[in-house]
């Protein structure tokens, strides 16, 4: 038994390592050891470091590192450096840094190289800012200190501003790239769904065309005029369909026009045995639906419902909006369902097309009517 053998082997290896005093560390856990140790060390230094004596402050391990906040907001802004050289430098550098971050290509450059270049850029900005600030502050003063002795002061005043700017630029660029990547994924997903829908729609054309041409062939000798008119309507329908051959969605008005033409063509085959109606609410004409989505439902009604009755029957196509949803119905008064519902090529293709376009936010049902006949319902979002 493989599982027992694997378990036994694993147990034997584990026991051998335990006997030898060996321990193994998960590589994923191992990489967190150093950051965790650094974090704990920093917390310990902050908590237990001896603080210097400060007048007016009781001696203890936890003492304030900054004096009491000034009562006037202008003094607080002054302490924060608002209006100083570094604030102007940060404001001037921000658009250029955002533009430079946008030009970085992580696929062409290694992350370490990008981090090194960014660090050098911000270090150079810090040094340049400190030099300018030193020149402005001590302008005209003869007894000024050296720049090296001034550098620790600049480090305390200016470095935090540049670190904050770097964090903002990185966060802003990462968010922009994440949004761009998400939009691109959605675009590709929609494009794939559209191509799949067009491919599924194209599968219907040969089947539909074969049935129609077979009907024309039957009428040629029996009723040449009817066959000629049927062929004319077929050419009109094919012209419309070819005009939309690369389109995944069409207006419901166009879809209903296709179905009306298709039923008119079918009426030549069934003559007085077929009557039909196509009705739609006025506010649903511009709703988007997959091209020729109703044709398989109508064809099923013709073949399984009307075609099996000597006296024929009627087909009703309806479209309306209900509770924010678009409802499409194809109803016939034919022979009804003779057994358990089983999807043929047409229904299966229709379900695939609906799923490709709307995902799980759609439904297609085929139900028998108590008074006789079948009703097929499509429920999709109203777009």
User: What would you report as the CA-atom Rg of the chain, rounded to the nearest whole angstrom?
Assistant: 39
Instruction: Confirm if 258 and 205 have CB atoms less than 8 A apart.
Output: no
314-331 pLDDT per residue, tens: 999 999 998 889 999 999
Domain that holds residue 313: 223-381
Local mean pLDDT, 10-residue blocks, the chain (383 residues): 41 41 51 75 62 49 52 64 73 87 80 84 86 80 80 78 86 87 76 57 61 79 83 82 74 90 85 89 89 87 81 91 92 76 72 84 90 90 80
Residue 168 domain-assigned (yes or no) = no
Copy the structure tokens of residue 348.
Answer: 């299966």
What confidence score (pLDDT) does residue 256 get? 93
- Asked whether residue 212 is assigned to any structural domain, the reply reads no
* Percent of the chain that is helix, strand, coil (3-state, to 5): 65, 10, 25
Contacts 24+ apart (CB under 8 A), 354-357: 354/290, 354/293, 354/378, 354/380, 356/193, 356/196, 356/197, 356/200, 357/193, 357/197, 357/248, 357/249, 357/290
Tell me the CATH number at 324: 3.30.565.10
CB 202 within 8 A of CB 245: yes
Q: Mean pLDDT score of the chain, rounded to an integer?
A: 76
DSSP track, 137-156: HTTT-TTPPPHHHHHHHHHH
Q: Is the pTM of this model over 0.95?
A: no
- On whether residue 270 sits in a domain, the answer given is yes
Is 28 inside a domain boundary?
A: no
Residue 263 lies in a domain: yes
Q: Which of 337, 343, 330 is nearest to 377 (CA)?
A: 330
Reported as half-sphere exposure (CB side, CA atoms, 13 A), residue 178 has a value of: 6
In a domain, residue 232? The reply is yes
- At residue 81, the pLDDT reads 58
| 244 close to 291: Cβ distance less than 8 angstroms | yes
Domain count, the chain: 1
Give the three-class secondary structure for 239: helix
CB atoms within 10 A of CB 378: 22
- Asked, for residue 345, whether it belongs to a domain, the answer is yes
Q: Is residue 91 part of a domain?
A: no
Strand partners, 318: 279, 329
Q: What is the dihedral of CA 58, 61, 67, 73, to 10 degrees?
A: -120
Q: What is the pLDDT of residue 272?
A: 82
């Amino acid at each position: 038994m493989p599982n027992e053998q694997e378990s036994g082997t694993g147990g034997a290896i584990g026991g051998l390592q335990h006997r030898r005093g060996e321990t193994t560390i998960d590589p994923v856990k191992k990489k967190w050891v150093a950051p965790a140790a650094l974090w704990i060390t920093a917390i310990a230094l902050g908590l237990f470091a001896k603080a210097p004596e400060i007048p007016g402050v009781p001696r203890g391990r936890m003492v304030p590192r900054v004096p009491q906040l000034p009562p006037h907001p202008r003094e607080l802004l002054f302490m924060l450096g608002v209006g100083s050289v570094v604030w102007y430098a940060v404001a001037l550098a921000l658009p250029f840094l955002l533009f430079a971050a946008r030009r970085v290509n992580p696929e062409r450059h290694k992350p370490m190289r990008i981090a090194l270049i960014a660090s050098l850029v911000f270090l150079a900005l810090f040094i340049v800012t400190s030099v300018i600030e030193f020149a402005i502050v001590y302008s005209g003063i003869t007894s000024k200190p050296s720049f090296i002795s001034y550098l620790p002061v600049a480090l305390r005043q200016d470095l935090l501003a540049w670190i904050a700017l770097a964090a903002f630029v990185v966060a802003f660029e990462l968010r922009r790239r994440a949004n761009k990547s998400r939009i691109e994924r959605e675009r590709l997903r929609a494009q794939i769904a559209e191509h799949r829908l067009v491919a599924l729609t194209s599968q219907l054309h040969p089947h539909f065309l074969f049935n129609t041409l077979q009907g024309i062939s039957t009428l040629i000798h029996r009723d040449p005029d009817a066959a000629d008119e049927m062929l004319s309507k077929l050419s009109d329908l094919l012209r419309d369909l070819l005009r939309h051959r690369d389109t995944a969605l069409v207006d419901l008005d166009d879809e209903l026009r296709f179905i009306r033409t298709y039923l008119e063509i079918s009426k030549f085959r069934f003559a007085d045995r077929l009557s039909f109606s196509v009705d739609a609410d006025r506010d649903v004409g511009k709703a988007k639906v997959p091209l020729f989505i109703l044709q398989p439902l109508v064809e099923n009604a013709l073949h399984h419902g009307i075609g099996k009755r000597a006296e024929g029957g009627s087909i009703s196509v309806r479209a309306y909006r209900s509770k924010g949803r678009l409802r499409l119905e194809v109803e016939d008064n034919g022979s009804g369902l003779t057994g358990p519902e089983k999807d043929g090529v047409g229904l299966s293709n229709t379900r695939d097309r609906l799923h490709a376009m709307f995902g799980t936010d759609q439904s297609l049902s085929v139900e028998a009517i108590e008074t006789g006949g079948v009703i097929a319902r499509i429920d999709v979002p109203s777009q």
